[in-house]
Amino acid sequence: MKGQRPALRLRPMRVEDIPAVVQLDRLSFATPWSTSAFRHEVLGSNHSHMLILERAGTSQRSSPHTAASAGAREQRGWRAWWRGRSQPENPTGYGGLWVIEDEGHISTLAVQPNERGQRLGELILTALIQRALAAGAGYIVLEVRVSNHVAQALYRKYDFTIAERRPRYYADSEDAFTMRLDLGDDTSIHFQKRRAALWQHFATRQGLQDAYTESPWPEACAAPG
């Protein structure tokens, strides 16, 4: 269809995504993560399940080899060739999940400012919950600013409830709510119905592709060197 946007793809975060993710993180949060923190999540943690939401076809790494790129590799060396072809466009959004024993913890979630209001944060959230279920988590927790009513409404939509208030949790001294979702049978069935309807919406309208939820973990996704 003329004018149709590229399909959406969910996939594991790779190390070459980090510079763009750091930029989006700084746009989204008053206390953003450092580059080293994201590198640890992608490369150094056995419990971290980092996610990228992108428009399919924007990642240069996934494009086929060409004669020009092969020539460049010979002339400039393998590492220079990799750097020249492996820089993705800005991600549409990202999220993070830790799973330790039976606890899932949503560590971060953000969407590009010009892409907000399209239920993309909801899509990322449901992917993280589904991943936690697949990893065997019995419950999920997260922290949210007490002033962030939009995020709280989204979490409540998926049956998260406030478990506690944590005073001065953030660096600017704002309190946080810890919210919790217990993944019992009834909750899981209810969630799966909502997730199926949401993902059908995106599959029909934007050709949603999921390379994240059932992906092996940890993925060998780091750029060489």
225 has pLDDT over 50: no
Domain count, the chain: 1
* Dist CA 73 CA 81 (whole Å): 5
8 has pLDDT over 90: yes
Quick one: tokens of 191?
Answer: 């969630």
pLDDT at 88: 53
- Determine, yes or no, domain membership for 3: no
- Determine, yes or no, domain membership for 218: no
- Determine, yes or no, domain membership for 84: yes
- Determine, yes or no, domain membership for 157: yes
- Determine, yes or no, domain membership for 225: no
Cα-atom radius of gyration of the chain, to the nearest Å? 18
- Determine, yes or no, domain membership for 198: yes
Mean pLDDT of the chain: 84
74 has pLDDT over 50: no
- Determine, yes or no, domain membership for 219: no
CATH code (residue 135)? 3.40.630.30
- Determine, yes or no, domain membership for 195: yes
- Residue 20 belongs to domain spanning: 8-210
Name the 3-class secondary structure at 77: coil
Greater confidence (85 vs 148) lies with: 148
For residues 27-34, average pLDDT: 94
For residues 39-65, average pLDDT: 77
Known catalytic residues are 143, 155
Rounded to two decimals, what is the model's pTM? Answer: 0.82
For residues 136-151, average pLDDT: 97
Sequence letter at residue 114: N
* Dist CA 149 CA 77 (whole Å): 51
